[in-house]
A and B are shown apart, each in its own frame.
Chain A
Amino acid sequence: MKKTGKLTFFIVAAFILLFTASTVAGFDYFYGDNKTTVVKGVDDIRLGIDIQGGVDVTFAPADGYDATDEQLDAATEIIKARLGALGINDNELYSEYKSDRIIVRFPWQAGESEFDAQAAVKELGEMAQLTFRKGTDTETDEEGNIYPTGEIVLTGGDIESANYVNRPDSSGNYEWVVTLKFKESGKDAFTAATAELAGTGTPMSIWMDNTMISAPTVNEVITKDSAEINGHFDNESSKKLADQINSGALPFKMETTSFQTISSTMGKGSLDAILLAAYIAFAFIAVYMIILYRLPGFVAVLAIIGQIAGTLAAVTGWFGFMPGSTLTIPGIAGIILSVGMGVDANIITGERIKEEIRSGKTLDSAIKVAYKRAFSAILDGNITNVIIAVILMGAFGVPSSFFSKILNKTVFFMFGATTEGVVYSFGFTLLVGVICNFVFGVFAARLMVTSLSKFKAFRSRKLYGGVEK
C-alpha cells in the first residue's frame, strides 16, 4: 500500500481549503460591464421558490378531458409562448403525458412589484388564439403591447391538424417540413389568400395570440385541403411549429389543479434563520468534536467543511459534468442530515481510535485498524441513505430526470408527476452529501490523521484520546 507521508496532510488540507474557497466565492471577472462567470459561487445558487418566492402551478385539461400526446405538446407550447410574452424567462416547465399534467414554476421576476399572479396564471391556461394573416403588419397600443393587424385568413378552428415530417424534396434531398391539413371551413379562404399572395413576396404570417410564430412566403396557389411549410427546419423546430399550430385547434383549456404563490419575504427570512442556526450549530459541533477527539476531532472539522463545500458545489454546478440543482428548504434539511452522517462517521472512527489505543496497540496500528473496522458500519449506514435518496429523486423528480424515468415506469406507474419538487431537492442534497461523506469524512480524514501521526509533535497518545504509556 502507498505510504502516507508527512506531506499528505498539507496536500489534502490545502485541497479542501482551496475547493471550499472556490465553491463559496466562485470565480468571475468583469470585462467592462460584462460579468463572465467561470465557476459559480454560493451567490449564484438557484434558490427554490419556497425561499425566494414565486409561483408553482400544475395545469390539467379542464373537465377531465383526456388529451392525446400531441394535444398536450400543443398545450405546452401555448404556455411556453405565453411565459415568454409575459417576460417570465426564468421558469421551469415540465409536461407529463400519462396524467396530462403541465407543471410550471417561476420565481418573482426582479423589479416586478405589481405582478398579478392570479391574472398571469389564468392567462397561461387559456385557449390560444391562432391566426393566419396576410402580411406581417403590427401596431402598438398605448400600453406598448404589439398586436397584429393583417387581415385574418384562417383561425385555429379552421385547421384539422399540423404535422412534421422528413421527406425528400424534388432533387431527392431529405428535409424537415411542417404539413397542414385544413377543415372544409378553411379550404376556400386559404385558396383565395394564396392566390392573392403567391409571387408577391408578401408572406402569410401565423400568430399565436400576439406572437408571430412563422411567416412563410407563398410560392404557389394552393387549392387542395393541405399545405406544406418548408425552409431550413430541423427535427426540433419543425415539431415546435407543428405543436404551436395545433394549439389553435385544441378542444379544451388548461385549468389549475394546484396553484401556489409564495411571498418573497417569508422564505428569505426563513433562509436567514436557517443559516444563522447552521453557523451556531457548526461552531458547537466543531468545539464538541475537538474537545472529545482532539486531533482526529480537528481533522473531522476539516472533513466536514469539505463535505459541506462538496454538497454546495454540486448544487451550484461547480462540477462541470453535472448540472446544478435548485436549493429548497427541504434541500437544506438534506444537507443537515448528510452532515449529521458525516459527524457520525467521524465519531465512530474517533471512538474506535480511542478504543484500539486503550487496548494497547501502537499508535500506527491503532489508527490503521480503527479506520478499517469503522468503515463497514459507515458504509452500511450511508448506503441505506443512498437507497432513500434515490427513491425520493425517482418518485418526486421532474418527469425527464434519470431516476424518475426508471421508477415512474415501474413502482410509481399509477401516479402522475407531482409538483413537490421540494422533496426531490431533499433527495439530491442527501445523495450528494453522502457521496461527499465518503470522499471527505472517510478517505480524506484517514489520510490526514495518518499523515499527522507521523509528526513527532503529534505522537502523544493523549492527542488521540488514549493515555500515555
Chain B
Amino acid sequence: MFGRLGLDALPFYSAVAAGGALVTVTGALLVLGVISYKRQWRYVWSEWLTSVDHKRIGVLYVLLALVMLLRGFADALLMRLQQATALNSGGFLSPGHFEQIFGSHGTIMVLFMAMPFAIGLINIVVPQQIGARDVAFPFLNLLSFWFTAAGAGLVLVSLVIGKFSTAGWTGYPPFSGLEFNPGVGVDYWIWAVLISSVGTTLSAVNFIVTILRRRAPGMNLMRMPVFTWTALCTSSMILFAFPALTASCGLLAFDRLFDGRLFTSGGGGNAMAYINMFWLWGHPEVYILALPAFGIFSEVVATFSGKPLFGYRSMVFASVAIALVSFGVWLHHFFTMGASANVNAVFGIATMIIAVPTGVKVFNWMFTMYRGRVRFHTSMLFTIGFMIAFVVGGLTGVLLAIPPVNYLVHNTVFLVAHFHNMLIPTVLFGYLAGYQYWFPKATGFRLNDDLGRWSFGLLFAGFWIAFMPLYGLGLMGMPRRLERYTDPAWQPLLLVAAAGAVIIGAGIALLGVQLIKSIRDRARQIDASGDPWDGRTLEWSTASPPASYNFTSIPMVSGRDAFMLAKRANAASTVTTYVSINIPKNSAAGPALGFAAFVFGFAMVWHIWWLALAASVGCVAAFSWRGDPESETVIVPAMQVAEEEKRRGRMAPIADMRSP
C-alpha cells in the first residue's frame, strides 16, 4: 500500500538532520500560520498562487529562489564548518550525512536557486522589455512554476521523510546505482530533477515563442534589449540541453527501477555514457545560467553609466556564439575519462575558444563605463564586483581547459574554487543585481540602497576569503568532497575558508534585513514615476508595479533603447483614449497539476505504484483537458483601464514611442 514508506523514514539518525527537518517543518508551518492568522488565504490564492500574470509568476519564482538560497547556503556553511574542524576527527557530521549535504547543496543551488531566479527575472522583465502584454502561453507559464516548485518540494521533503542522495549533485553511476545506493536518496534527486526540468523546458518554449512572436511593432531583433537577447539564447539552450538531463536521469531511474545494466559495472554497462549525457546538459547549463546574468549586467551598466551599451552588436553575437560553442565543450568535465589525446585537445581548444566571446563582453561593459557618468547603485556595485572576480575565474578556467594541467588538479578543490569563482560572481551577483535593479518595477518601491551596499561588500569580501584558499588547497592536493582529513597543513586555509563562508552568511542575512526594512519603509521608498533609475528600455515606461496588461496601448519602437529615445523626443502622452484589453484568466489547474506532479514524484521515490499511476494519468488527462483559449481570457473594459491608470497616477501614459 505505501511501498517502502514506513516510520523509519523519519530523520532520527542524526541530531543535525533532525534539526534541519525541524527547521523545515517549522518554517512551513510558520508561513501557513501567518497567512491563516492574517486571513489572507483568499488573497494569496487568487492573486498569487493561481495568477497567470507573468509578473506575479516571476515574483513567485524569485521568492522560491530566495528560500532555496537559504537552504543551499545552510548546506554550504555546514560543509565549511565540518572541513574546518574535521582534522583527524569525524567533525560533527557523519559521512553519510555529509554526502547528502554536498549533494543537496549543488542540486539546490543550480536547479532550485539559480534556475528559478533566472526564469523569475526573465518572467518579470522580458514581456515588458519587448512591449508585450503577456507571454505567449500564460497558463503554461504558471504550470512551469508549479512543476519547478514541485521539484523543490521533493528536495525539501527529503529532509523530513527519508534521505537525500549521497551521490553528489551529478549522481554519477555506478555509485548512484541500485547496487551501492539502494535507498530512496538518489530517487529523490532523480525525480526532483526530472519534474522540475519539465517545468524548465516548458518555460523555454514559452519564452522562445514570446520573444519571437510577441514583440511590439518596430522592435526588430537587433533592437531588442540585451537582456531579452540573452533570455532568447538561454531559452534555446534549455530546449536543446535539458532533454539530455531528462535522458540521463530517466535512464538512471530505469536502471534503478528495473534492475537495469545500462550504467552498472557489470553486464556491459557503461557509466561514461551517463556522464557524457549528464554533461551534455551540464555544460550548456553553466551558460544557461550565465547568459541571463550577462544580460542583467548589460542593462545595469548602460543605465547607471548613462550611456547606450558599448558594442551592442558584438554583445549579441557574443551571446549567440557562447550559446552555440557551449554545446561543444562538455568533455572537459572528464578529461581523465581516457579518451585519446586528440579528443581531449579538441575539447580543450573549444573550451578556450569560448573564453573569446566572453572576453568581448567584459570589454564591452568596461567601455560602456568609460567616460560615462557612473552612479554606484547596489546593482552597479555587483556588476563591477562581478567583472573583477569573473576575470580571475575565467583565467583559472583557461588553466583547467589545458588537459595536462587538468589531470593534475582533477577532482581537487581547485576545481571547486574555479566553478564557484565563475558561478558566484556571474549567477549570484548577476541575479542579485537584477533583483536590486528591477525590484521597484515588480513591487512599486525601491530597496534600501545603503543596506544593499553593505550586503554587496560582505558578499564580495566573503567570496574572496572563502574561495581563494581553495585554489591553494587544490594545488596542495586536497580532493573535493572530503568529510575528514589527516593533513594538518590544510587546516589553516580551511579555517580561512570557513570564515569567508560566515562573512557570506552575514551578507545574505543583510539581504533579508534590507528586504524587511524596505518593506517597512515602503512609503518613503516609493517609486511613483515607474522609472527610478532613468532607464533606457521599455519596462521602465510602465507604472511600478505595472497593471496586469502592462501597456495601455502597445508602444511603437523606432530604435534601440526605445524608452530613452521616447524620453529624449519628449514623445510622452499622445493617446488619451483607452480601449478594452483581453487578459488571461487565473487558473487553479496550475497549482493542482503541480501538486499532482509532486505526488507522482513522491510515489515514485517510495515505490507506491498505484499512486504514481493515478497521479501521472491524472496529470496527463488534466493537462489535455485544456479549456478553449477563448474562454480562458477576460476582458478589462476601457472604463476600468482608465480608472486603473488614474489610480496609478498615469493619466497620460506614454503610448506612442515614435519620434516626432
A associates with B: no
Interfacial residues, chain B to chain A (CB-CB below 8 A):
none
Interfacial residues, chain A to chain B (CB-CB below 8 A):
none
